A = this chain, B = another copy of it.
């Protein structure tokens, strides 16, 4: 039994993580913290945890380190920095769902997050926890920087062709559509029902903080500097991210060949489903699951120009956050990688 503590359990990511951990055969949740709800039963906030006996507590690191071996952090960006460092110093393993340890470079971190990174030495120890590309490093990691939701959908959609000669890595476009849970549980006017419902909007064009994270991992995969254009959109639904990814090819390719390559690349992956030729991913088909559905298309109309189109779909709170965190734990502890994660999606 792995004794785990969940730091920051009152948001959507925290509650989903708690749900998955409570259903995991090899895990015992020993603590769930929340500053805002400290002292109240977790089930007052989330009815589904009614019979768990869990109560939110205030964060007391000294006390907690005695009670858990693995710590999941669902805290806002910037506040994770020091807590990760303290836990690491105390010899604990950490899976951090914030962005604080995702970027290798403290300089790039500072330029996007507008705050210095005070533990840049630790950045080099942290492993970017996307199992499909970093599984071996995850096995030995002490600090996992759990990927962002958009980056997960983008990187999984692109990984198979990174490093391929026929790909123009300088002009990749990622156009993503996300459900509203990505914005979190705190009240804010733009995410009120009547503002989101019956509307679609783009936001954060060329300034969204998931951009450097995507570029960093794609650059590593392709062994040269990748620059992307990333446009997130807000969609009137609870969950799901659909990323439509446009990749310019340097030479004419056959669709079947690229599809075959995607299938080969992911053939051992338990959570990536490459769809049949012509089938389109639906966010609903991955809702509530740790799957990433991918389909590959080719625009063969123009003589030159962009032409590979990859569509990927994930549940932003599962494969894009809490499910991925559990998958990382499974790998770190040598468990079956799918343990606690094989829920299938309801219809509808």
Inter-subunit contact B180/A194 (CB<8 Å): yes
Inter-subunit contact A187/B177 (CB<8 Å): no
Q: Once the chains are docked, how many angstroms separate the CA of A77 from the CA of B268? A: 44
Q: Once the chains are docked, how many angstroms separate the CA of A56 from the CA of B206? A: 32
Interface size for chain A: under 10, 10 to 19, 20 to 34, or 35 or more residues? 35 or more
Inter-subunit contact B12/A309 (CB<8 Å): no
Judge if A264 is at the interface, Cβ distance under 8 Å. no
Q: Which residue of B lies closest to A195 (CB)?
A: B348
Q: Once the chains are docked, how many angstroms separate the CA of A282 from the CA of B192? A: 15
Best-surrounded residue of A185, A192, A193, A244 (most CB of chain B within 10 A): A193
Known: A206-B300, A305-B229. A235 touches B171 (CB 8 A): no
Inter-subunit contact B180/A301 (CB<8 Å): no
A283 touches which of B22, B199, B347 (Cβ 8 Å): B199
Inter-subunit contact B238/A298 (CB<8 Å): no
Best-surrounded residue of A186, A191, A203, A344 (most CB of chain B within 10 A): A344
Judge if A134 is at the interface, Cβ distance under 8 Å. no
Best-surrounded residue of A179, A200, A293, A299 (most CB of chain B within 10 A): A200
Inter-subunit contact B229/A233 (CB<8 Å): no
Best-surrounded residue of A180, A237, A248, A298 (most CB of chain B within 10 A): A237
1/0 per position for A270-304, CB-CB distance to B under 8 A?
00010000001111110111000100011111111
Inter-subunit contact B309/A206 (CB<8 Å): yes
Inter-subunit contact A347/B48 (CB<8 Å): yes
Judge if A202 is at the interface, Cβ distance under 8 Å. yes
Inter-subunit contact B206/A301 (CB<8 Å): yes
Q: Which residues of B contact A177 (CB under 8 A)?
A: 177, 200, 233, 235
Inter-subunit contact B307/A229 (CB<8 Å): yes
In the complex, 26 of the A-B residue pairs with CB atoms within 8 angstroms, ordered by the A residue number, are A47-B273, A48-B289, A50-B273, A170-B304, A171-B248, A173-B246, A175-B246, A185-B194, A186-B189, A187-B188, A192-B192, A194-B238, A195-B284, A198-B283, A199-B287, A200-B282, A201-B242, A206-B299, A206-B309, A227-B301, A229-B302, A229-B309, A236-B236, A238-B348, A288-B288, A317-B346
Q: A48-B345, A180-B193, A180-B194 are in contact. List 20 more A-B contacts (CB 8 A).
A: A19-B344, A46-B347, A48-B289, A171-B306, A185-B189, A187-B189, A193-B197, A193-B238, A194-B348, A195-B348, A197-B197, A197-B237, A198-B239, A198-B283, A199-B287, A203-B280, A205-B311, A211-B301, A229-B299, A239-B348
Which residues of A come within 8 Å of B, CB atoms? Answer: 12, 15-16, 19, 22-23, 46-50, 170-171, 173, 175, 177, 179-181, 185-189, 191-203, 205-206, 211, 227, 229, 231, 233, 235-240, 242, 244, 246, 248, 273, 280-285, 287-289, 293, 297-307, 309, 311, 317, 343-348
